[in-house]
A and B are shown apart, each in its own frame.
Chain A
Amino acid sequence: MKEDLIAEDIIRRVMVRIARKRVQRARALATLHIALIAGALSAFVPAIRYLAERASASGFGEYVSLMFSDGGSLSSTWKVLALSIAESAPVASSAAVIALALVIAYSVRGAARDWSSLRLSSGAASA
């Protein structure tokens, strides 16, 4: 019986330590995710602006608008138009915007998971 009490005490204390460790880990991950969100957001607006500048400078926007404005000649010139669009597409700046968007999405998902994990673990850790 005494051994049962000792074992029960050990189990309880170790589970509290485990819960505290999980809270610690969740906090560290949450901090990392929030830092990533902040960094990515602060770079996102300039990246969008740069993308718009590149698209304007290369004529990409004008080529795309031609697709919708002059339907009559489109059937005979679609190959040339497609090539022009492809050549003028601001690839690097688009890739940067997409990458930043993915980082924000991944970090928001991670932060939501960390928040949920913190809520679950905090109760056990404070026991």
Chain B
Amino acid sequence: MMEPTMDTLAHRTETDEELAAAVKAGDDLAFQELMRRHAGPISYFVRQYAKDPEDIEDIAQDSFFKAWKHIKRFKEGRAFRPWLYAIARNTALDCIKKRRASTFSELDDEENDLMFADVLEDEAPLPPELFAQAELRAELEKAMGALHPDHKAVLIMHYHDRLTFDEIAEAMDKPMNTVKSWHRRALQKLKPRLPHRK
């Protein structure tokens, strides 16, 4: 098998869903192209759940391996990205649970539940340049450190990876209201921590 490199991989123009269909048919190069497209975003996404660089790399690798192993379960007509993010999130949560068997406080606390009183108005969205510019991103990541991992994940998927709330809900296997609530709460907590932004 030829060793893949970023230069030697032919940059294919099919959609993710077309590539997934090719992977089902046994096309290894199609799977490598999918990894090329999503390795960076998935690694960045996983960082919201794990801190250790080794863990992040392991989770990212496990996620892609599981995606390959279960590719036959990926149904035609579905969007590929939310499916992949769902695998990555579940893999990350499994890793965290294994490491912290006795305390799930980061994952199952009340803060993450949809509260009855959670009917506040939508917050104004974050400016897109926050994720685009490296300096601002560093500032943002520091501010995001205090957020619940799922809340961080919602922000990353929506602003950095450009998933819709629909797709995020599918990826996280949560109702849309829950995802929007997490988004809202994350913004409420985040904005005061961002210097020079109100």
Contact = CB atoms under 8 A, between A and B. Distances in A.
B39 A10 contact: yes
Contacts of A3: 40, 43
A127 to B, nearest CB: 7
A17 B58 CA distance: 12
A7 B37 CA distance: 9
A13 interface: yes
B159 interface: no
A113 to B, nearest CB: 14
Nearest to A3: B40
Interface in B2-60: 3-6, 9, 28, 31-32, 35-36, 39-40, 43, 57, 60
A86 B158 CA distance: 76
Contacts of A17: 61, 65
A6 B35 CA distance: 11
A8 interface: yes
Contacts, number: 55
B74 interface: no
A14 B64 contact: yes
B69 interface: yes
A38 interface: no
Nearest to A17: B65
Interface residues of B, number: 21
B60 A11 contact: no
A109 interface: no
Given A10-B43, A10-B61, A10-B64, A15 B1 contact: yes
Interface in A1-34: 3-4, 6-15, 17-19, 21
B83 interface: no
Nearest to B2: A124
A46 interface: no
Contact of B65 (A4, A8, A12, A18): A18
A123 interface: yes
Contacts of B165: none
Contacts of B35: 7, 10-11, 14
Contacts of A21: 65, 69
Contacts of B61: 10, 13-14, 17
Interface of A: 3-4, 6-15, 17-19, 21, 123-124, 127
15 contacts: A3-B40, A7-B6, A7-B39, A7-B43, A9-B57, A10-B35, A10-B61, A10-B64, A11-B35, A14-B64, A15-B1, A15-B28, A18-B65, A18-B68, A21-B69
Top 6 nearest A-B pairs (CB, nearest first) are A7-B39, A124-B1, A10-B39, A3-B40, A14-B64, A11-B35
